[in-house]
Amino acid sequence: MKGEKVLKLLEIIEEATWALSDMVSVFTLPYGSSRAQIQRHFLSRELRRKSLVDELRKSIKDSQRLYEFVYHLEKDGLVERKKKGKKRFLYITTRGKRLLEKLRLRKKMMMPKKSYHIQSDNILKIVIFDIPERERTKRDWLRVVLKNLGFKMLQKSVWVGKIKLPRSFLEDLQNFRLLDYIEIFATSKTGSLKHISL
């Protein structure tokens, strides 16, 4: 996803900023929380920070590139440095928070994987769709998925194959509100067509 490194770094900075408010966050725990509950609360936050840092390390290999990356975020007004005593801290700005939410939303709306578990079937299936131009990304995704599943294209919007449609694929169709644009038929042993309702 475009902007994934920015998303990861802004999340890390946001999490690190929370480190300053860790003591305040204790007050959000239910009254009478035990020491173990408080420790679990801090541990879960620390593990989240660690996983974000690990993800960023994988995507940005050397420290010089990381410094350059942070410099560009500062230049764009997404983060700022503040000095406290002898130490400097990075904080996410209001503009950075807005971009972070936008990037999180974009990541959430990303199309799911294009490949699913393939399982042959004796029954021929016909997939017909008419997805509007405004949903072009979803339409392109569907064509790639059908091809990866082993379906053959008769026309751009008509595909056939003797493949079992994976449950996760059907769930993705539902999640992305594509079911209104798709018709799936199966042939019976006698050769008649049967509409498959999803």
Residue ranges and CATH numbers for the domains of the chain are: 4-108 (1.10.10), 120-196 (3.30.70)
Q: Each residue of 21-67: pLDDT tens digit?
A: 444 454 455 666 666 766 676 667 666 666 666 666 665 566 667 77
Measured distance CA(67)–CA(90) in Å, rounded: 12
List all residues 6 or more positions away from 116 whose beta carbon is below 8 Å from its beta carbon.
145, 148, 149, 166, 168, 169
Q: Each residue of 63-114: pLDDT tens digit?
A: 667 778 778 888 999 888 887 777 777 788 899 888 888 887 777 666 666 6
Q: Among candidates 192, 136, 197, 138, which has minimal Cα distance to 165? A: 197
Structure tokens at 192: 């008649």
Asked if 140 contacts 187 with a C-beta cutoff of 8 angstroms, the reply is: no
The confidence band for 151, taking pLDDT boundaries of 50, 70 and 90, is very high
Total-model pTM: 0.48
Measured distance CA(113)–CA(96) in Å, rounded: 29
